[in-house]
Amino acid sequence: MSLRRQSDSYRRVRLKGTPPYKIDIGCGIKCVAGCLGIDVHDNGQAIVWDVLEGIPLPDNSVEEVHMYHFLEHIEYFALDAFFREIRRVCTPNTLVHIRVPHRQHPDAYSAPHVSFWDEKAIEGMVGGFVNSRQEKIPLFKVDWINTKDNGRLLFCRVEVLR
């Protein structure tokens, strides 16, 4: 099930401070300290929004992104547009912190997870796209990838390229 089908029927943006921002996408009930929380459900965070419809922030206004247990809820067909939107709002060299269940662990397949991740999937998804001349255009650079908790979790950090 996509976030769009689960989303609340309203949107809210309450920005604190001025850019550049640090954001926590899919924050749920607990936002990373010092970040603007963004979630489709209203848990009292700064931004109530379905990020599959875009991120309600200006271009080049974000200096750090956190996505903990979020990407596995995004269907594969929506990931390219989502990562392009991340790139749009981020300043050059922004670090994007990602944590997902590793596809080799049974936890990765619990509902409502709809995408499944390992090191190659992360590298392939964030590595960019091929243009009409068959040239690879990189969007992000993988800074590091690691597994933790006996292979249950996949942690990675990627850098936005310009």
Q: What is the pLDDT of residues 82-122, one digit of tens each?
A: 998 999 999 999 999 999 999 999 989 998 999 999 988 88
Domain count, the chain: 1
The per-residue pLDDT for 75 is 94
> Residue with structure tokens 């209203």?
42
| Torsion, CA 135, CA 138, CA 143, CA 147, rounded to 10 | -80
- State phi, psi for 27 to the nearest 5 degrees: -65, -25
Boundaries of domain holding 47:
3-160
- 98 vs 105: CA distance, rounded Å: 17
Q: What average pLDDT does the chain have?
A: 87
φ and ψ at 139, to 5 degrees?
-100, -40
Instruction: Answer with the residue of higher pLDDT: 137 or 81.
Output: 81
Q: For the whole prediction, is pTM greater than 0.75?
A: yes
Q: How sure is the predictor about 133, in pLDDT bands with cuts at 50, 70 and 90?
A: confident
CA distances from 160 to 29, 46, 77 (A): 27, 24, 21
